[in-house]
Structure 1
């Protein structure tokens, strides 16, 4: 997630430079043709076209931002649920001989959120899980298609084992299970965002209409702007192409790009809170790298 206060114009230009270059060449070509072979430029209702396109792109960008924000809200719920799990486990598993199980559940939750992060970003899951858990504890979960869900299932089984040993009563088990359900529901919402793209109409038509508008733009401006047509038309086209790119950037909040929700930082927050809850040393929070918090 980019956290610089000033917008990164250079970043936007890097993302749209190819269509922008083509647009600039087209603008120059239209201007040259207008002066070499004088023609009467058609009176195009560019204001009407531009207004309609702006509304279309604005609606698309809002839809993309809603997906991005929902991803952030779901990860906020995951942070809260992880803290609730740690507090419940620490308080309920208070018997001296249950300390190791308490620690194991905490570590499994840390491994779980990191595994979920890697699944959403399509990166190496096993490496992050084995960083936290011994290979023997992680083996069964790593054999699952959904590693994060396998870790969560294992946590549920360990809670049941604690109840069977008399370390938890049924009410305490039910309270912990309700927290696990909250965690599972948050995961389901994240997977829905990841696996359900915007409908094709939201992606195809805005792209088509923006490019068509940029083609007509210098034709409608050349009589008014004259030699300044390439500059004016290219700048106007940049604005529409930038809005189009913003929608593409935000539509997947877990795409492992600079525009992502900062899930790595939130996983580190969970790791710090949970380790400190059981009195173990914790790593430092993640800090931005070149204005980007991952």
Structure 2
């Protein structure tokens, strides 16, 4: 995730980060510039059309559709940001639940061996979940005295959650915790699975194809028709104008594409591995 100072305007304006949409759109911007030049040359030099041509009135269509495309892009970016922010809230909840579980176990458990098990396995769940969401292989991991064997052909976070609850149930059967304490600890372990399911819902449910495809086609045809009307009023100055309009519209779509799946390796994705390491640090301090 990109770390930055939101008050540093100069850096934002004149520095191009590797995740900046400008770099990604350079090839298409060059094509749009050449396309606009070709249209302008044909209309002004080859066909020698004047401002009285009916084709100059095509800007009326752009004025009407500009409002529509702006609404679509606002809805698109808001929907994508909602998915990104929901993912952040879920991982914030995982941090809090991990701390709460560790605090309760620290008070309840008396034997160091039992604490050691949870000291390794609670952070292990966050680590496994981060790799599960980014599709990394975690076939087998060893945590000190705890042998945690993960079958990569099965749901990995569920296997860790099962080990956690199995240990809690064993503590109850060994009379190390009471029935009330079992209920309390069960709700904390259950919250891990609920967070995992919510993250998978975001990960496995993309924006509907027809909606995403329509916006891309809309932007493309909208920009490709701009030069036909603009060259009459702006001449060849329409080239940078059309390029800038394309850059703004396409950038909004690219930003939405990147943040709609917050669990990945893009520059603006959530730092879930760092969050998992923080969970490990906090749980080890508590237990």
| Structure 1 contact 118–124 (Cα < 8 Å) conserved | yes
2:71 matched to which residue of 1? 55
The alignment partner of 2:175 has SS state of coil
- 1:161/1:189 Cα in 2 relative to 1: closer, same or farther (>3 Å)? same
Greater Cα shift, 216-225 or 69-78: 216-225
Flag structure 1 segments of 5+ consecutive residues without an equivalent: 279-294
1:3 matched to which residue of 2? 3
2:57 matched to which residue of 1? 43
| Structure 1 contact 159–173 (Cα < 8 Å) conserved | yes
Flag structure 2 segments of 5+ consecutive residues without an equivalent: none
Deviations 1:172-221 (A, max 9, x none): 11101000111111111001100111111231111110111110111121
Distance across 2 between alignment mates of 1:188 and 1:163? 27
Distance across 1 between alignment mates of 2:228 and 2:209? 30
For the pair 1:251 / 2:256, whether they are aligned, the reply is no
For the pair 1:119 / 2:132, whether they are aligned, the reply is yes
Residue correspondences, number: 271
How far is the alpha carbon of 1:169 from its aligned partner?
0.7
CA RMSD, 1 decimal:
1.7
1:263 matched to which residue of 2? 272
2:102 matched to which residue of 1? 86
| Structure 2 contact 84–259 (Cα < 8 Å) conserved | yes
Distance across 1 between alignment mates of 2:183 and 2:29? 58
How far is the alpha carbon of 1:124 from its aligned partner?
3.0
For the pair 1:151 / 2:160, whether they are aligned, the reply is yes
For the pair 1:69 / 2:85, whether they are aligned, the reply is yes
Distance across 2 between alignment mates of 1:100 and 1:23? 66
Deviations 1:21-69 (A, max 9, x none): 3212211211222222223333122121122111111111111111111
TM-score normalised by L of structure 1: 0.87
2:178 matched to which residue of 1? 169
Distance across 2 between alignment mates of 1:51 and 1:125? 48
1:200 matched to which residue of 2? 209
Distance across 2 between alignment mates of 1:205 and 1:63? 16
How far is the alpha carbon of 1:87 from its aligned partner?
0.8
For the pair 1:32 / 2:41, whether they are aligned, the reply is yes
